[in-house]
Amino acid sequence: MKIGIIGSGNMGSALAKRIALAGHDVLLTAKDRAKAEAVASGIGPTVRVVAAGDVARDADIVIAATPAGSQAEALRSAGDLNGKTVIDIANPLKPDMSGLSVGYTTSFAEELAKTLPTARIVKAFNTTFAQVLSEGADFGGDVRAAVFYAGDDDKAKKAVHALIESMGFDAIDAGPLSHARYLEPMGMLNIWLGYMAKRGTGIAPTWLVRRHKAASKRAA
């Protein structure tokens, strides 16, 4: 796949690395082209820096890796998003990081979808720290980190599911876009655990499923 990424900060660069390692082509754009060039050259030739207006045209999926407040503007500058799958990764934090600025009767993702009605918005990656993306999904043993995604468009969700799995993460369908109302607080809890509770950013939420009969019997 061809994946367009807007922003070359913590998430933009970690996503570019993991997506390139998964064998996809990355079209990277950022306000600061030199920064994007440095990120791209640190990863390899499958990450290409392009002008903002050229991101959407060739990309199968566009990821907005900018702060929540810049998301709509950044996406509008990416070219024609009509029918395009767009991943919103934002955690809409209050400026002092004490909580979310949006919720719980709506979500940042739903509000973004209202401003970009022709794009197919999927919420994903907001519960995944950049460090986890950069280091990979493997947490040892059988445990791999999950990436939750929510959206209303089946075709877009299938593409996002395939992208997440190709990156090595456990892709978990969290339902319709309105369930971003649950994913965004989950992202906030992850941030609280990582920063305020000082567990660090090498943590990730996941959803365990008991698969082995032997394990069920032992527990009984």
Ligand X SMILES: NC(=O)c1ccc[n+]([C@@H]2O[C@H](COP(=O)([O-])OP(=O)(O)OC[C@H]3O[C@@H](n4cnc5c(N)ncnc54)[C@H](OP(=O)(O)O)[C@@H]3O)[C@@H](O)[C@H]2O)c1
N-to-C CA span, the chain: 45
**Cβ neighbours for 118, distance < 8 A, ≥ 6 positions apart:** 81, 82, 83
Binding-site residue total for ligand X (CB under 6 A)? 25
Within 52-91, the residues that bind ligand X by CB under 6 A are 65-68, 70, 73-74, 89-91
Q: Is 31 a binder of ligand X (CB under 6 A)?
A: yes
Per CB under 6 A, contacts with ligand X among 114-153 are 125-126, 128-130
Applying CB under 6 A, does 47 fall inside the site for ligand X?
no
Identity of the residue, 11 or 219, whose beta carbon is nearer to ligand X in the bound complex: 11
Determine, following the binding rule CB under 6 A, whether residue 101 of this chain makes contact with ligand X. Answer: no
- As a whole number of angstroms, the distance between CA 119 and CA 105 comes to 22
Q: Which of left, alpha, beta for 49 (phi over 0: left; psi -120 to 50: alpha)? A: beta
Q: How far is the CB of 139 from ligand X (least distance, A)?
A: 16
Using the minimum distance from each CB to ligand X, give the nearer residue, 109 or 159.
109
- Site for ligand X, rule CB under 6 A: 6-12, 30-32, 65-68, 70, 73-74, 89-91, 125-126, 128-130
